[in-house]
Amino acid sequence: QKEVEQNSGPLSVPEGAIASLNCTYSDRGSQSFFWYRQYSGKSPELIMFIYSNGDKEDGRFTAQLNKASQYVSLLIRDSQPSDSATYLCAVKSPYNQGGKLIFGQGTELSVKP
């Protein structure tokens, strides 16, 4: 079992729709969760982080965390073509010094005009 799993996609949504990106993790002791956006040929950009159960909203982005189900998601409202990118879910390992992140393989999102 992979430590962090994401659907690889591609996930295709029409412009203006809600895009829902999902991630599950295997280590129940994990405490910190991150979403990165990566455009093709560019480096990952941190767009959301969440530490507590529930929802965290920032503009059009909402991160949702359910530790009991070991599930974290990212919702993008009013999706725009500029949101087309690969979204990486990352979980901070609770067992290592230095904040090592365990990355999922990423979900490719395509927003169609």
Q: Which residues bind another protein (CB under 8 A)?
A: 32, 34, 36, 41-46, 49, 88, 90, 92, 97-101, 103-106
Closer residue to another protein (CB): 33 or 83: 33
Closer residue to another protein (CB): 71 or 103: 103
Closer residue to another protein (CB): 70 or 105: 105
> Strands 107-112 and 11-14: what pairing?
parallel
Distance in Å from the first CA to the final CA of the chain = 37
**Closest CB 77 distance from another protein, rounded Å:** 23
Cβ-contact 39, 99 below 8 angstroms? no
The residue written with tokens 């879910």 in the block is 89
Spatial separation of the C-alpha atoms in residues 66 and 59, rounded to whole Å = 21
**Closest CB 85 distance from another protein, rounded Å:** 13
Closer residue to another protein (CB): 98 or 113: 98
Question: Between vectors from CA 103 to CA 73 and to CA 59, what angle results, nearest 5°?
Answer: 40
**Closest CB 87 distance from another protein, rounded Å:** 12
